[in-house]
């Protein structure tokens, strides 16, 4: 088991199951500290740079809350500002600047590999908050943590991952993260055009995890313990009619769940959603996506603390 | 008298005079602490979400300063970023996200009722920093506090509220707030098109406050103790000539004040102004709008501390 | 020697050599504190307003990091937001607002004189983070500090300042700052169109500093101890071909340095760069620009602490 301190977080596959369990133990302590009021000021005097070259509200605010709950500070940029920055200066110089101002860099970028490249330039550790289509390791961490909290374990469950498995990095990262555990079975539910990418399928095959690709949610829904829903974007479809068809058949409604799902099925979603989960599901026993969003803060508190070496 | 802790702040009418007096007593203490140097770190480890769906600089920075003076932290978004957020996600999901990251939400939105709706979703308290045309309760709080500071009381004074009384939420909120007190008289000075809305007139009538609607500033100016000026926006007028006429007749100049006003008249303005108050008024005995802006910080320090239950 | 506390920082020429040495002594202590871990929380409870009417990432984040490293907080705006602000309200009112929320204002503006004007309005001290074409005093401070760190002194060295000496405020400020010291010689290397402005030349002449204006980098390179490179912007040239010619002849490459420069030459650059310094220089003995960027934080920590009177 490698030490957490000073480590870059690029892909969920950089971590072993034991290392993740260490993270989750720390996250549990953070959760408890949060619920009891003031968490310890572990990050006082520390600065985390938030470099969001692609706009993001949830992930950015979740990291910001995590750092600030522990008495740390953030600096950085996002969205518009990042765009104009991107025009004026090469990525390496921007990363060197942040590296000389901060103790840790959290970065989102639209190109795959950007986080790895930046991590090689920075002397301080760097956390990938999403790069391109494949990696969003901290999302996968909080997803696993949520499952573990709901079921006591990640192993032995039947998972369905629904939506855009080709371009959606949350879905890809979650699928990859399951290969570190022993799920009973993983259904990859997507339209043909949006099936998992070959690199992800290869990792699945090598891991020995049982997985099945399918286009039908209804057929597999009765077997699932966890349904991980993601957005399907209109832009992915050359034909708008094709999009409408897919969208309709993948809409998770309360009626559908009550008709076909196990009573203990839990629905996850990295959010934001458009309309792939009906609002009537929100108040039901199935909905776990708001809990999941909330758990992002303690998981990131734990992650930042471990990487900066201030915990335990 | 209801407890302040955990309370939503949607409209100034949600509060009694006694409750406001409690707030103002706390604000006085905050003012004193600010003037003596370091205020107590009452909000250490706390996070306030600033959700400005409509751009704002003054109100946002005033809340931000208030929270940070007390050792708390803020997260959030404003302007451009909020616009793109608004497109991608429904308000309820955004509020739930902020509610799970922060201890308190401060929100501005262009639709009336948005704050009330959001407060019903959020488990943490929510402060309305302006929604639509009618409510801007924290502005009214600092307005009353300013009058109280200048005259020792809110009661017994003659008020003029000038400008766009129809669409301006600062003016509406101030007028409503006066119904909680016993002003001697309230002149509502506006062009015909921009008279107070029926809902506001109804509250005035029921309250028993003596009020008079007029189009002429000059006629009533000699009677006033407080002149509350607000902007008149060109867009409200179908006819640009009509706008120019109104604008000219409502311009508060030093000459006008010296000619017609009581020597102790105080001019308030929620700011920003365009040209409705001449810059020559700034240095005069009449100008109270910069003091008013400054008092926004201690009033909001008091409000946030009361609502979060860390004061007294 | 004037006291630092409460002082505005508008131009580098507002300071004497002795005052700058006092600043640099404080910066050395800040550097040491940074390297040993947690710097003291000198700014706890203090708020610095960052008013960037012109977009900036490096200078803004450098100030933000400096303030936050010392436990202080920032509020403010930049870029887009500032633009819309600028439309709605006059500068004086905006400055008054910030002045009433914060203990110190750091301001960037595209008009010369804006900082001086704002400083006259604000009761709290104001630091100019760049106004128009001439003044960027904190950049000059960190430039001098970098030279002093590299050579043990600013005196007695041969300097070359390269690029747009007419419109570039970092170059102008650096040149002006050298007149407070006793450089052996200063070469001003630029295309004819972009020579130093008359006001700067006048200060140089009056100071008695030996300076030579030239168009050729190659001719003077062998003599230099310090080469201060700045960007040349395409927009400055009426003829694009002229631009391409200039750009090519002023490109600092590793080959050029190895062929002509002293082994101890150090290359500085205020950054961001476009392509005026080849990336192959980055890893070489000549490159001092990343160090320079890093030193911006301790210099600004010292500056803010002195101006706010919390150090020593």
SS (H, E, C) chain B: CCCCCCCCECCHHHCCHHHHHHHHHHHHHHHHHHHCCCCCCCCCCCEEEEEECCCCCHHHHHHHHHHHHCCCEEEEEECHHHHHHHHHCCHHHHHHHHHHHCCEEEEEECCCCHHHHHHHHCCCCEEEEEECCCECHHHHHHHHHHHHHHHCCCCCCEEEEECCCCCCHHHHHHHHHHCCCCCCEEEEECCHHHCCCHHHHHHHHHHCCCEEEECCHHHHHHHCCEEEECCCCHHHCCCHHHHHHHHHHCCECHHHHHHHCCCCCEEECCCCCCCCECHHHCCCCCECHHHHHHHHHHHHHHHHHHHCCCCC
Give pLDDT tens digits for C230-255: 998 887 778 888 888 888 889 999 99
Chain B closest-CA separation from residue A7 CA (Å): 26
Predicted confidence at residue A19, as pLDDT, reads 97
Q: Using a CB-CB distance cutoff of 8 angstroms, which residues of chain C are in contact with residue A77?
A: 57, 61
Distance CA B55, CA C16 (A): 43
Q: Tell me whether residues A274 and B88 touch, CB distance under 8 A.
A: yes
C46 has a chain A CB within 8 A of its CB: no
ipTM: 0.94
Distance CA B72, CA B51 (A): 16
Q: Is the pLDDT of residue B86 over 70?
A: no
Higher pLDDT, A33 or C85: A33
A86: pLDDT confidence band, cut at 50, 70 and 90? low
Compute the average pLDDT of residues B120-131. Answer: 97
What does the block give as tokens for A162? 């629904």
Predicted confidence at residue B29, as pLDDT, reads 97
Higher pLDDT, A240 or B222: B222
Predicted confidence at residue C243, as pLDDT, reads 85
Compute the average pLDDT of residues A184-206. Answer: 96
Q: Is the pLDDT of residue B252 over 80?
A: yes
Q: Among partner residues C41, C65, C273, which is closest to A102 by beta-carbon distance?
A: C65
CB contact at 8 A, C12 and C176: yes
Q: Tell me whether residues C71 and A45 touch, CB distance under 8 A.
A: yes
Q: Using a CB-CB distance cutoff of 8 angstroms, which residues of chain C are in contact with residue B301?
A: none
CB contact at 8 A, B231 and B203: no
CB contact at 8 A, C50 and C82: no
Higher pLDDT, C135 or B81: C135
Predicted confidence at residue C244, as pLDDT, reads 84
B290 has a chain C CB within 8 A of its CB: yes
Mutate one of A36, A40, A55, A61 to test the B interface: name it (highest B CB count within 10 A): A61
Chain C closest-CA separation from residue A274 CA (Å): 28
Q: Is the pLDDT of residue A154 over 80?
A: yes
Predicted confidence at residue B83, as pLDDT, reads 62
Distance CA A105, CA A119 (A): 9
Domains and CATH numbers, chain B: 12-135+296-307 (3.40.50.1370), 137-293 (3.40.50.1370)
Work out how many CB contacts closer than 8 A connect A with C. Answer: 58
Beta bridge partners of B117: none
Mutate one of C51, C67, C100, C308 to test the B interface: name it (highest B CB count within 10 A): C100
Compute the average pLDDT of residues B25-49. Answer: 95
Compute the average pLDDT of residues B97-106. Answer: 97
Predicted confidence at residue C114, as pLDDT, reads 94
| Sheet strands side by side (includes A126-131) | A73-78, A47-52, A104-109, A126-131
Its sign, for the CA torsion C238, C243, C244, C246, is positive
Q: Among partner residues B80, B81, B93, which is closest to A272 by beta-carbon distance?
A: B93
Closest CA to C62 of C294, C289, C307: C294
Compute the average pLDDT of residues C127-131. Answer: 96
Distance CA B255, CA B259 (A): 6
Q: Which residue has the tokens 């600047």?
A: A97
C31: pLDDT confidence band, cut at 50, 70 and 90? very high
Q: Using a CB-CB distance cutoff of 8 angstroms, which residues of chain C are in contact with residue B272?
A: 88-89, 93
Q: Which residue has the tokens 């009765």?
A: A222
Predicted confidence at residue B81, as pLDDT, reads 67
Closest CA to A50 of C68, C52, C185: C68
Q: How many helices (H) and strands (E) does chain C have?
A: 12, 9
Its sign, for the CA torsion A17, A21, A27, A28, is positive
User: How many CA atoms lie within 13 Å of A207's alpha carbon, on the beta-carbon side?
Assistant: 23
Q: Tell me whether residues A100 and C297 touch, CB distance under 8 A.
A: yes
Compute the average pLDDT of residues C165-182. Answer: 96
Closest C-chain CA to B40: C45
Compute the average pLDDT of residues B165-173. Answer: 94
Predicted confidence at residue B67, as pLDDT, reads 98
Give pLDDT tens digits for B224-248: 999 999 998 887 778 888 888 888 8
Closest CA to C230 of C203, C260, C190, C284: C190
Predicted confidence at residue A83, as pLDDT, reads 61
CB contact at 8 A, A215 and A194: no
Mutate one of B48, B93, B94 to test the A interface: name it (highest A CB count within 10 A): B93
Its sign, for the CA torsion B216, B289, B23, B198, is positive
Predicted confidence at residue C99, as pLDDT, reads 97
CA distances from B33 to B47, B61, B301, C150 (A): 21, 19, 11, 45
Q: Is the pLDDT of residue A266 over 90?
A: yes
Mean pLDDT score across all residues of chain B: 94
Predicted confidence at residue C88, as pLDDT, reads 64
B297 has a chain C CB within 8 A of its CB: yes
C274 has a chain A CB within 8 A of its CB: yes
Compute the average pLDDT of residues B272-283. Answer: 94
Compute the average pLDDT of residues A176-192. Answer: 97
Distance CA A172, CA B179 (A): 59
Predicted confidence at residue A248, as pLDDT, reads 80
Over the range C154-182, which residues count as b (16 or more CB within 10 Å of their CB) and which as e? beebbbbbbbbbbbbbbbbbbbbbbbbbb
Predicted confidence at residue B298, as pLDDT, reads 98
Distance CA C8, CA C212 (A): 32
Distance CA C20, CA A44 (A): 30
Q: Which residue has the tokens 């909680």?
A: B180
Neighbours of chain B (3+ CB pairs under 8 A): A, C
| φ/ψ of residue A188, rounded to 5 | -100, 100
What does the block give as tokens for A213? 């690709």
Predicted confidence at residue B87, as pLDDT, reads 58
A25 has a chain B CB within 8 A of its CB: no
Distance CA A133, CA C240 (A): 40
Distance CA A137, CA A19 (A): 13
B64 has a chain C CB within 8 A of its CB: yes
Compute the average pLDDT of residues A128-141. Answer: 94
Neighbouring CB atoms inside 10 A of B88's CB total 14
**pLDDT more than 90, % of chain C:** 83
Distance CA B16, CA B18 (A): 5
pTM: 0.96
Compute the average pLDDT of residues A87-102. Answer: 89
């Amino acid at each position: 088991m490698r030490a957490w301190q000073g480590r870059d977080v690029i892909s969920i596959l950089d971590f072993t199951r034991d290392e993740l369990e260490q993270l989750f133990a720390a996250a549990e302590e953070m959760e408890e500290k949060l619920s009891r009021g003031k968490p310890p000021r572990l990050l006082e005097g520390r600065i985390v740079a938030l470099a969001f070259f692609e706009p993001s509200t949830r992930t950015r605010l979740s990291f910001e809350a995590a750092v600030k709950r522990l008495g740390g500070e953030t600096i950085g940029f996002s969205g518009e500002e990042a765009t104009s920055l991107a025009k004026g200066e090469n990525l390496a110089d921007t990363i060197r600047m942040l590296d000389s101002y901060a103790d840790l860099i959290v970065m989102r970028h639209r190109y795959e590999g950007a986080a790895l490249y930046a991590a090689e330039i920075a002397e301080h550790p760097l956390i990938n908050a999403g790069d391109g289509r494949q990696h969003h390791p901290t999302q996968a961490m909080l997803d696993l943590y949520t499952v573990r909290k709901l079921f006591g374990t990640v192993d032995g469950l039947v998972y369905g991952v629904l939506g855009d498995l080709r371009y959606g990095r949350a879905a890809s990262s979650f699928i990859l993260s399951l290969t570190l555990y022993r799920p009973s079975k993983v259904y990859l539910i997507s339209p043909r055009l949006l099936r998992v990418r070959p690199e992800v399928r290869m990792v699945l095959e090598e891991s020995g995890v049982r997985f099945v690709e399918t286009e039908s949610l209804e057929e597999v829904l009765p077997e699932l313990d966890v349904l991980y829903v993601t957005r399907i974007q209109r832009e992915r479809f050359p034909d708008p009619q094709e999009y409408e068809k897919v969208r309709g058949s993948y809409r998770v409604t309360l009626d559908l769940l009550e008709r076909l799902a196990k009573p203990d099925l839990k629905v996850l979603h990295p959010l934001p959603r458009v309309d792939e989960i009906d609002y009537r599901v929100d108040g039901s026993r199935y909905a776990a996506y708001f809990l999941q969003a909330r758990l992002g803060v303690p998981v990131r508190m734990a992650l930042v603390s471990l990487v900066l070496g201030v915990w335990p």
